[in-house]
Chains A and B, each alone.
Chain A
């Protein structure tokens, strides 16, 4: 267990260093930082002095170490586009993305798992067929198209829901929440549904496949032979054993929800990190791009790590195998 943990941690650090290296390379080799800071009439000696003061003449290793140190404290310099500290900009955007992602993940789980259980248990019913057809569409319709269709129906056609923004938000220190006002909830419905649809169908298909697999096994037959009720067999025995892969995938999907939020946030002009990143890419705002990269990289590494550990905790077979290897 300890060896596994250390190995995983080592890998996580390696990934983070690779991400930091890419972000650092972005900073230093895309464009000239001096040119983007000074005016045209700055003399060569002046530029050289600035270069020396900013430490741009130091060796690669020293500069990279300094970059990592600053990044760890959340300092990424000034945004080229807005001329404000990047850390401050990101701090404003984080709550919007986190609220959206968590609501979408919750929706995907709360609706996806029951749909998967139902279609797994009643394979031939018409509702299952309908849900499966729906899941196929959910997998194939591009996220942005779902968003556009929702806007077309509920904003343009029916005029029920706002098509952009977060509605009104309430401030708690640096955190701004849209989940405490009616307007905020109205604004978050469509983006959250759009973002969750793909994950929902994925979870549903996964749970269905696992249920079908488990229901075939011998211990389910024995449970039935022992005369247990359907409920006990389906939920006590079958469902419990399908949850291991579901936890893994659902955890990893939380990461891709944050990535796919870029698309959803663009469609609904949701003021989160994804929209910020796309605007940074369009304006080649390197500090913002680099900061987003490091932050999202960190999210992913943490999620992957937690899922790995969780997997280990949930599945006793893994533990036993590892321990036996450790002893023998």
Chain B
């Protein structure tokens, strides 16, 4: 993941550098060289599996981002759908055509386009959920570690209760309660927000515990005491001094969690309590196709399933690599 971001900044960096002064260009070039000379890049290059995983993840992410431009059909426009095209097999099988490379579903939607748009939603929900969980967890962790006492006890007991249940169960429950509380007609519109909130609320505990642990260590160090002595406001100390120092482990948890968040979204959607069929994510697509498995239309659920598996596997591999690369014990 790092490397893709690194190579991305290469392109923009060199494009922007031209109008600027030569000095700035030289500086950004040396910065780049440092990235490519560094340990991280080296350990990345030396692991072919990681490179392959990065390429697969990059391919799926780019495909998802560019979906409106590269998808051969618009699966959400009912006017472009024709029932005559329904249940076409993939192009290489008898009866398939290259108009629909991976075939069509029971309503004549192109599977390839549906996958491109679906992975867009899967990634969106996954990223947003991890981001929200991270914000929530870091904020509560800092609060618990800094304030201590009653605040700490309350936050951490809630965390303990959550931690004794698997995340998927908690996400399911929050999702189920939201269904009961929210009005029915609004549900499909805000389904993705509910889903993001449900996943984030079941994931924040890990961040909070990690941040609280490092805050407890950092708050007694001299730089914090010095800041207190010269009268820096507590808010500034926590956000300006503590936060940057406790963020390291959190970012690693976030990468490892991304695959889990995407998986949770897909699972909830597959169970029918996630994204509705009108805005299908990969999980919803698999659920739709599951009903037609027995009529022999295996491609409707298999292809989205393969893309989902490839995405999760590659993000998992990247997360593992990143965790090892940042672990000084393994160097």
Which A residues contact B (CB, under 8 angstroms)? Answer: 11, 14-15, 18-19, 22, 26, 30-31, 136-137, 139-145, 148-149, 151-152, 156, 163, 255-256, 259-260, 262-263, 266-267, 277-278, 280-282, 284, 286, 289, 293, 296-297, 300-301, 304
Chain A facing B: main interface SS? helix
What residue in chain B is nearest A23 (Cβ atoms)?
B173
A262–B172 contact, CB under 8 A? yes
B313–A137 contact, CB under 8 A? yes
Separation of A142 and B126 alpha carbons in the complex (Å): 15
B169–A281 contact, CB under 8 A? no
Q: Give the chain B neighbours of A281 by CB distance below 8 A.
A: 172, 175-176, 179, 273
Q: Give the chain A neighbours of B157 by CB distance below 8 A.
A: 14
What residue in chain B is nearest A281 (Cβ atoms)?
B176
What residue in chain A is nearest B315 (Cβ atoms)?
A140
A142–B168 contact, CB under 8 A? no
Separation of A137 and B298 alpha carbons in the complex (Å): 21
**Can you give 13 A-B contacts (C-beta < 8 A)?**
A11-B160, A140-B309, A140-B313, A141-B309, A142-B308, A148-B302, A151-B293, A156-B294, A163-B294, A277-B172, A280-B176, A293-B173, A300-B164
Which B residues contact A (CB, under 8 angstroms)? Answer: 157, 160-161, 164-166, 168-169, 172-173, 175-177, 179-181, 259, 263, 266-267, 270-273, 286, 290, 293-294, 296, 298, 301-302, 305, 308-309, 312-313, 316-317
- What 8 pairs across the A-B complex have the smallest Cβ distances? A281-B176, A140-B313, A30-B180, A259-B166, A259-B169, A284-B180, A256-B166, A145-B305
Q: Given A141-B309, A281-B175, A282-B272, do A26 and B168 touch, yes or no (CB 8 Å)?
A: no
Q: Give the chain A neighbours of B165 by CB distance below 8 A.
A: 259, 296-297, 300
Q: Out of B259, B272, B301, B312, which one reaches A148, CB within 8 Å?
A: B301
A155 to chain B, nearest CB (A): 8
Q: Give the chain B neighbours of A26 by CB distance below 8 A.
A: 177, 180
Q: Give the chain B neighbours of A18 by CB distance below 8 A.
A: 161
Q: Give the chain A neighbours of B266 by CB distance below 8 A.
A: 142
Separation of A209 and B199 alpha carbons in the complex (Å): 30
Q: Give the chain A neighbours of B293 by CB distance below 8 A.
A: 148, 151-152, 156
Separation of A297 and B169 alpha carbons in the complex (Å): 10
| 12 new A-B contacts at CB < 8 Å, known A30-B181, A148-B301 | A11-B160, A30-B180, A140-B309, A141-B312, A142-B308, A156-B293, A262-B172, A263-B168, A281-B179, A282-B272, A293-B173, A300-B164
Q: Give the chain B neighbours of A297 by CB distance below 8 A.
A: 165
Separation of A148 and B166 alpha carbons in the complex (Å): 23
Q: Give the chain A neighbours of B290 by CB distance below 8 A.
A: 148, 267
Q: Out of B164, B271, B294, B296, which one reaches A278, CB within 8 Å?
A: B271
